[in-house]
Structure 1
Amino acid sequence: MESYPEYWEADVVLRDGATAHLRPIVPSDAEAIQEMHSKQSPESIYLRFFAPLPAIPKRDLDRFVHVDYHDRVAFVMTIGDEIIGIARYDRLDERSAEVAFNIADAHQGRGLGSIFLEHLAAAARERGISVFTAEVLPQNRSMLQVFAAAGYEVSREFDDGVVAVRFDIDPTEKSIQVQEAREHRAEALSVRQALSPRSVVVIGASRKKNSTGNLLLRNLTTAGFNGRIHVVHPEAEAVVGIPAVKALDEIGRPVDLAIIAVPAEAVSDVVRDCAAHGVKAVVVISSGFAETGEHGLELQRTMVATARSHGMRVVGPNSFGLANTAEDVSLNASLAPFLPDPGALGLFSQSGALGTALLAAAKTRGLGISTFVSAGNRADLSGNDVLQYWEEDPATSVVGLYFESIGNPRKFSRIARRVSRVKPVIVIKSDFTGRELPPGHTVRLSSLSGKALDQVLTQAGVIRADTIHQLFDIAQVFTSQPLPGGRRVGVIGNSAALSTLVVQRARAAGLRVDAPPVSLHPEVSAEEFGAALTEVYEDPTVDSVVVIFTPSAGAEEAEVARIVATEAARSGRTTVACFLGVHGVKDALTAHTIDEDGNRTAHAVPSFMGPEDAVWALSHATEYAMWRKSDRGTYPEFDAIDERGARAIIERNLSGVEAGRRVSLSREDANALLECYGVSGVPYLASHSVEEAKAAAEELGYPVALKAVSTRLRHRLELGGVRLNIDDPEELEEDWNGIRRVIEAVLGPDDDHGIDVQPMAPPGTSCVIRAGEDPLLGPMVSFSLAGDTSELLDDVAHRVAPLTDVDARQMVRGLRSSPRLFGYKGLPVMNVAPIEDILLRLSTLVDDFPAIREVEIRPVMVTETDAHVLSIKVELVAASDRMDSFRRRLFIG
């Protein structure tokens, strides 16, 4: 019998945005299951058991709750202490299992069946099961719909009054899309409930004007919140002019959002009270949680578990609050005494202090916001959740996020890739590895360099900003200007020196400046400037325009600004400006147009402090626009992949291994594993004596290579662990003895790992491919040219799996050293298609099996005709738990 699989537990978001807890069944659930059964209607009982059953017989109940977590698996879903649903599978044979579901009448229609199916299928695949069957009564339409809508290819047969259902549970493109769509709708709704409440209660509002709760209440009223505001205070009759009640009981009507500002030790009790009164979400402003140490972390986890188990989402703790500027909401449930005007920018911040800076910067630059969320310690509601909401929020057209840590980067990458197709996503994040975290943030550590996640974000179309200044530089282009149509830039200004600087910076940033800049004299008149600007806009080879104007004795700055705004609006071309003294999106650079229906539209040209900032923002806007237009490729479909064979190798090597322990495969198993996915290595034969080596060379055929097997010397040509191009037995004997002397000198005379004999691959360029499950980033694939230079300069391409064909091409061509593969300084042009094929196959392998910690192909020799895999190393990890997998669950902070 397997031990209790704790990592199968999950907090989940239901269809209506509420939360619940899903976990494997345990024997002590018997009483709660019987209680659930007693509340079921006769019809529900008949649909589940095919017979009337007022109570579950003890023998059957015992069997239900005693499972082995391998051949017999069951999950329960709970809200508080109540079980609201049960799902199970029972293995029929090596590959198939029968599934059954039982959802409490009061909770049907909330999406429990689809969530159960995802988690059962994930558990079953871990146990080697690939097919589910079920017997369902024809009138049980809801359960038949769960199977039909899951995205699997379902077959049905009607026999003896029962519908027999059968389907393969391996993820398909459709099933993945269905899961992501359901996850998106549920998580977006849970955020919407927090951001658009109809009623708010402040718990912990003091009558002291300088207290946190008092400030929150004043900000709520000052913003003109359109819903009901309540205050809970144990003594006061009123706070800030709002009548107070002593407890939630006295409100007498539903409350959507609770803002909590009480001491940390009391928060869990307040959250529990909120749950008992049907509150949908809480914002915890209180500090004193994980940022203070282990005790605070335990308080935080208890508080979040309490909220989630009762159906609520939590913003915080240590949150700065949230805001929604929509006219029908007008919510300022934050510590900011001011908000920017309503606008199109959605802002997310983990840091309270940075939240203040973000709002202040937006207001200073004249940028309006749609919504603002400060997640604080990000114990529950995260940037991923808010991104799900912003994806379809019509009020938000640009997203800006400040991250101190990313709990589930793979999920963020997946969501951001989808959102970026329709809205720009800008991220500020300093440390991407998880090694330098602020107090209160607990995430897994990445085994890769910080550059890896940076590349993953680029793969997803995310724009990286290093500072708040840069975030708003690019945001003000996206919120005020159309996307550039291409890379060609026109430059016009009344300073030759600044125009030259713009041209230099633009070309360095990958933009094209095909026409000479239009450099007008410093005292240019407004009419002259306008005429020249019109000519620039009329040039069909110009996609975007940079305007520079410095104060002079000529035209007035305000007059030129009006001309620039008018001409930019008329042209529809992307325009950025550098008007010294004008920073942001201002009235001075705003023009208005009126359409046929009489609707008035503002067109603002963003102005920057310096020309460098203007070009930086324009270049990133252009890169994003080009990414939006680009072909992102297709996922490959390989024939003759032996997934069952690969699974058997992995399970055999991990059998009986303690969870978390690593296992290195033998070279035979490592080669066999990759052969299951169509990657074959150059054959080799091991030797422990000169005679064995000579016999191996005769069998394989000269010329051959000799390689020390020991990991400290393998691939180390410079240390003498490798000898190449051996043409005859005499040379082989000399080189074999030479390697043996190196082994004895470095490892000692007792080392007997042996020396491999391998046919020489044709000459080419030596490369390294790695793939595997990174603890933080999930399944990753990396590519580089072999050698210390690539490692020292971190010239490595990283992508998250699965890869498209375009991803693989970009990995090979995106290295700084990649010209060596394509004819650099007379070198032959290598055939990289086989390398791309290996990248795609390894991507599929590690995406299928989270237990693969690392695959290393080092080296793979790329030639003018083919690629030759010379060495394969594979390491597994027992009970690997992928954070973003084929089952929905919330991140645990």
Structure 2
Amino acid sequence: MSDAYPDHWEADVVLADGGTAHIRPIRGSDADLLRAFYARLSPESIYYRFFSPRPRLSDREVEHFTNVDHDDRVALIVTIGDAMVAVVRYDKIADEPGTAEVAFLVEDAHQGRGLGSVLLEHVAAAARERKVRRFVAHVLPDNRRMTKVFRDAGYRARQRFEDGIIQLVLDLEPTETSLEVMAAREHRAESRSIQRLLFPRSVAVVGASREAHSVGQTVLRNLLTGDFTGPVYPVHPTANAVAGVRAYTTVLDVPDEVDLAVVAVRAEAVHEVVEQCAGKGVHGLVVVSSGFGETGAEGRARQQELVRLARAHGMRVVGPNCLGIANTDPSVRLNATLAPTMPGRGPLGFFSQSGALGIAILQSAAERGLGLSTFVSAGNRADVSGNDLMQYWEEDPATGGILLYLESIGNPRKFTRLARRICRAKPIVAVKSGRSTQGVPLGHAARALSLPDHAVSALFAQAGVIRVDDLDELFDVAQLLAYQPLPAGDRLAIIDNSDSLGLLAQDAAVALGLAPRDPVDLGPRARAADYEKALSDALADDSVDAVFALFAPPTIGEIDPDVPAVISRLARQSGKPVLATYLGAKGMPTELRVPAPDGMPAAGSVPSYPAPEDAVRALAYVTRYALWRQRPQGRLPEVEGVDRDRARTLVERLLDDAEGPITATADQAADLLACYGITVGGADGRGVATRIVTMEDPSFGAVVSFGLSDVTAALLDDRAYRLAPLTDVEAADLVRAIRTAPLLFGHHGTEPVDVAALEHLLLRVSRLADDLPEVSRLELDHIHADRTGATVGTVSLRLARPVGPRPELGPRRLPTPPTTR
């Protein structure tokens, strides 16, 4: 038994309607909280819980319910603000080891918000930690909501009907279905929480100043000049009006409901403002104020308290120290930012962590004529993150592509999981700064990445993310993805009126892995009719996947004004991507647009690049993404000869006998590998020596790397990385991803090795790494591969207790900002 308070069971969660709440174990001091909660319950809810009328709880019952040992008797409560709104408890059944009876109670006003399902996830995780393997629940037949919570959870369940009561038995071992259900609920909840921020019916600007060019007045004026469709309420402690709009002393004085509050007061005053917003029932906060985590220890503490207080009262937070948020949807027209320029409507969602850089980003997008659906600058990213926005954009019909400027990644494993799914339908283009250091800007609620940058790039590529080097490349790629179809392959036709430009384009295409045909040079006197014939021929050619049209100012004669109309018309009629270098223009020139009703580019508009190399580079990025989408996703094959139960027992025994992390002996490591059908020893030194390493990375989880086992490969750091578990396709890709891979396939007449044996070994090793997070590092070295197979020469194994379950296996929770940096 353990009476110690399990503070790691505490969690902030997002509910089904997008609001937030706090889950924690019950405490002995919660007696008054429990009484107040019980007094708000309807007779029906009480009857469903206790199977009889019970208008009040006795003092003895309150004492019993609030004092638990967090082992045999466990209770978790949900709080919103200062009120308890739900409770779940289990009691172990003495004569049935591994079994506990579970019961839920949710306040009537909060039923239908997903509290039951999220509580079941958390209490099940707590139960598994306490060696409980199954729950028994007794439910009245009329209590359909509770029955649905159990049945929809995805656990293996059995039920029987006896004496007018349904008895449900749930096996708590996570199943594929239960994990899918949990991920789907997380997706819907996080998406809804972002929708509430981006589609407010009303906005209050707290700190709306009468001083020109101040932060508060800038946001207020941008909301007003942007023609926000709802009411805007300036909040100022003394002014009667700001920018010609009636002002209120506090947000509590606003006579109507407030959905979104933009906070632009000094950092020391934010806490009071958040409390007032909580009292007003505000749904979300955009904190543009600085003076938080970016300033040092005191600011970090202030930032943590901001997030804690907001989440406790049901609010998500964008920021602090951010530029703001924008939504170009005509039904809302929200510009709650500090940016003087806002792009028009378009199909791209943009997430930026940098507030200062956000202004330049929006300016660049507008100058290019590139339209955005929504824009969010997260600043210190204390709460709302890129992962949240990705959840929203995945389902948003107005967003066809996602652009990310990332300075840190709060939950990289979740990021890659989401990206892997989203990129099958919508492209994600990302700039990840900090390549040289993998550090995190001061104030960001995230840890630094421990993997080398090229490993991070490999994991992004595995998930389908288009990682570019800088913002110019990001916009170059974005303007092609936004308005042109994806290419079917890498075959490129080049049409020009300058042979020099055509040759530059061809050279760039070859260098970037494309397959260009010889340029079709129309000469400096080329007219619209010449371009029409050449473009029509290229677009009709089945051996062409994309067309690049170059039109430079002619050295002889005048510019034919009909050339861009021809390029635009033929591109619109074709199912192949067309891009251009048109008179050195950058972005979406008016002459090449298919105009939407508001004048912004629509689908079929042709992007232009000032230099051929820029255009070809963008096309190369897009082509690699298109080919990734075409490739089969692969499957997780059944690996024969695996004994997971024995492997788990071995690991538990080794760690139980040690006080901390251990390095296993060669025999112990060989025993564990044998559980996965891997034999160590017997290598005779023939063939090519390779090396496989797995590590339990604190950010990404189980990562597998592959390379040759020699000094040159180590010197060049020629290793390829993938997330575990590997599919059969990913195992094949991993072997071929290293630069020295030709040595495995008979380079310069050498004998090819049994590559299938290496792939099979990778599948087994990756399955081990995925099954056992206690395997902090496993190295298989001198794996000698020849035409007859692959034999493991040496092995080293390090084991350590993981800090909590992997996020995708644990219950849903919002990340907790780190307390130190």
**TM-score when normalising by structure 2:** 0.93
Q: C-alpha displacement at 1:877, in angstroms? A: 2.8
- Rounded Cα–Cα distance in structure 1 between residues aligned with 2:595 and 2:52: 71
Whether contact under 8 Å (1:850, 1:880) holds in the other structure is no
Instruction: Give yes or no for the alignment of 1:343 onto 2:342.
Output: no
Kindly state the Cα deviation for residue 879 of structure 1 after the two structures are TM-superposed: 4.6
Q: Is 1:430 aligned with 2:429?
A: no
Q: CA deviation at 1:602?
A: 6.0
User: Does the Cα contact within 8 Å between 1:197 and 1:256 map onto a contact in 2?
Assistant: yes
1:863 to 767, 778, 786: 786
Query: Aligned equivalents of 1:783 and 1:242: distance in 2?
Result: 63
In terms of mean alpha carbon deviation, does 493-502 or 466-475 score higher? 493-502
The structure-2 alpha-carbon separation of the partners of 1:789 and 1:192, relative to structure 1 and needing over 3 Å to count, comes to same
Shift, 1:412, TM fit: 1.0
Aligned residue for 1:346, secondary structure, equals strand
Map 1:454-465 onto structure 2 (within 5 A): 454-465=457-468
Alpha-carbon distance in structure 1 between the residues aligned to 2:811 and 2:728: 26
Match of 2:12 in 1: 11
Shift of 1:887: 1.7
Asked whether the equivalents of residues 683 and 792 of structure 2 are also in contact (C-alpha less than 8 Å), the reply is no
Which secondary structure does the structure 1 equivalent of 2:799 belong to? strand
Structure 1 residue 601, shift from structure 2 partner? 6.4
Query: Are residues 162 and 859 of structure 1, via their aligned partners in 2, closer, same or farther at CA, if it must alter by over 3 Å?
Result: farther
8 Å contact 2:781–2:794 — kept in the other structure? yes
Once the two structures are TM-superposed, the CA of residue 531 in structure 1 deviates from its matched residue by 2.3
For 2:740 and 2:74, the matched residues in 1 are separated by 51
- Residue range with higher mean Cα deviation, 667-676 or 214-223: 667-676
Kindly indicate whether the alpha-carbon contact (under 8 Å) linking 1:492 and 1:499 is maintained by their aligned counterparts in 2: yes
**Paired position in structure 1 for 2:720:** 797
CA distance in 2, matches of 1:772, 1:46: 52
1:405, 1:432 within 8 Å by CA — same for their partners in 2? no
Which stretch shows the higher mean deviation, 265-274 or 302-311?
265-274
CA distance in 2, matches of 1:785, 1:61: 65
1:163 correspondence with 2:87: no
| Map of 2:83 onto structure 1 | 82
- 1:402-417 counterparts in 2 under 5 A? 402-417=405-420
Partner of 1:750 in structure 2? none
Q: Distance in 2 between matches of 1:259 and 1:280?
A: 11
| Structure 2 counterparts to residues 148-297 of structure 1, below 5 A | 148-297=151-300
1:813 is matched with 736
Cα distance, 1:807–1:127 mapped onto 2, change above 3 Å: farther
- Equivalent residue number for residue 644 of structure 1: 645
Task: Give, in angstroms, the shift of residue 860 of structure 1.
Answer: 3.0
1:141-192 deviation per Cα after TM superposition (whole angstroms, max 9, x unaligned): 2121112111233221223333222233333332222212111111111111
The equivalent of 2:587 in structure 1 is: 584
Q: How does 1:622-771 map to 2 (within 5 A)?
A: 622-638=623-639, 641-655=642-656, 661-676=660-675, 678-682=676-680, 759-761=682-684, 763-771=686-694
Which of the numbers 366, 374, 392 marks the counterpart of 2:395?
A: 392
> What SS does structure 2 have at the residue aligned with 1:209?
coil
Count matched residues: 809
Distance in 1 separating the partners of 2:311 and 2:592: 48
User: Paired residue for 2:536, among 534, 537, 542?
Assistant: 534
Q: Distance in 2 between matches of 1:307 and 1:434?
A: 33
| Residues 524 and 555, structure 1, Cα contact 8 Å, conserved in 2 | no
Equivalents in 1 of 2:411, 2:304: separation in Å? Answer: 17
Look up the SS of the partner of 1:120 in the other structure.
helix
User: Are 2:683 and 2:783, in contact at CA under 8 Å, matched by a contact in 1?
Assistant: no
Are residues 1:319 and 2:352 paired? no
Amino acid at match of 2:800: V
What is the alpha-carbon distance in structure 1 between the residues aligned to residue 122 and residue 794 of structure 2? 37
- Once the two structures are overlaid, the 10-residue window that deviates more, 821-830 or 392-401, is 821-830
Give the equivalent residue in structure 2 for 1:512. 515
User: Residue 333 of structure 2 corresponds to which residue in structure 1?
Assistant: 330
Q: Does 1:887 align with 2:814?
A: no
Q: What is the rounded CA distance, in whole Å, between the counterparts of 1:666 and 1:580 in structure 2?
A: 68
Q: Is the 1:375–1:382 contact (alpha carbons within 8 Å) kept by the matching residues of 2?
A: yes
CA distance in 2, matches of 1:383, 1:264: 24
TM-score, normalised by the number of residues in structure 1: 0.86
Q: Deviations over 1:646-697 (max 9, x none)?
A: 3333333444977xx5333344443333333x23333xxxxxxxxxxxxxxx
Change (3 A) 1:126 1:787: farther
Residue 395 and residue 668 in structure 1: after superposition, are their counterparts in 2 closer, same or farther (change >3 A)?
same
The Cα RMSD (Å) is 2.4
Q: What CA deviation, in whole Å up to 9, does each residue of 1:10-67 have, x standing for no partner?
A: 2110001000112233333344234323332333233223344444455555554444
- Partner of residue 848, structure 1: 771
Q: Structure 2 counterpart of 1:18, which letter?
A: G
Q: Does structure 1 retain, via aligned residues, the 8 Å contact 2:226–2:333?
A: yes
CA contact (8 A) 1:78 1:84 kept: yes
In 1: Cα distance, 2:646 partner to 2:67 partner = 31
The structure having more radius of gyration, on CA atoms, is 1
Task: Call closer, same or farther: CA 1:65–1:645 in 2, change over 3 Å.
Answer: farther
Q: Distance in 2 between matches of 1:860 and 1:33?
A: 62
Distance 1:239 1:518, change over 3 A: same
Given candidates 547, 550, 563, the residue that maps to 1:548 is: 550
Gaps spanning 5+ residues in structure 2: where? none
- Indicate whether 1:134 and 2:134 are aligned: no
Q: Does 1:619 align with 2:543?
A: no
Report if aligned partners of 2:438, 2:450 keep a CA contact under 8 Å in 1: no
1:825 counterpart (741, 748, 754): 748
Amino acid across the alignment from 1:851: E
SS at match of 1:603: coil
After the TM superposition, which of the residue ranges 188-197 and 550-559 deviates more from structure 2?
A: 550-559
> Cα offset for 1:644?
3.5
1:325-360 deviation line (CA, Å, top 9, x unaligned): 111111110001221111111111110111111101
Number of the residue aligned with 1:503: 506
- Structure 2 counterpart of 1:354, from 346, 357, 367: 357
Of stretches 520-529 and 290-299 in structure 1, the one that deviates more from structure 2 is: 520-529
Counterpart-to-counterpart distance in 2, 1:772 and 1:80: 41
How far apart are the structure 2 equivalents of 1:657 and 1:321?
50
Residues 97 and 857 of structure 1, relative CA distance in 2, 3 Å threshold: farther
Map Cα deviations across residues 214-260 of structure 1 (whole Å, 9 max, x no partner): 11111110000100111111111100000011122321221000000
Q: 1:206 to 1:100 in 2, by over 3 A?
A: same
Task: Give the gaps of 5 or more residues in structure 1.
Answer: 595-599, 683-757
Work out the percentage of aligned pairs sharing the same amino acid.
47
Aligned equivalents of 1:132, 1:857: Cα separation in 2 = 41
Contact 1:434 1:446 survives alignment (8 Å): no
Alpha-carbon contact 2:757-2:789 (below 8 Å) kept:
yes
> How far apart, CA to CA, are the structure 1 residues paired with 2:111 and 2:341?
44
Output the CA distance in 2 between the equivalents of 1:817 and 1:443: 35
Whether contact under 8 Å (1:345, 1:398) holds in the other structure is yes
Provide the rounded CA distance (Å) in 1 between the counterparts of 2:204 and 2:276.
Answer: 12
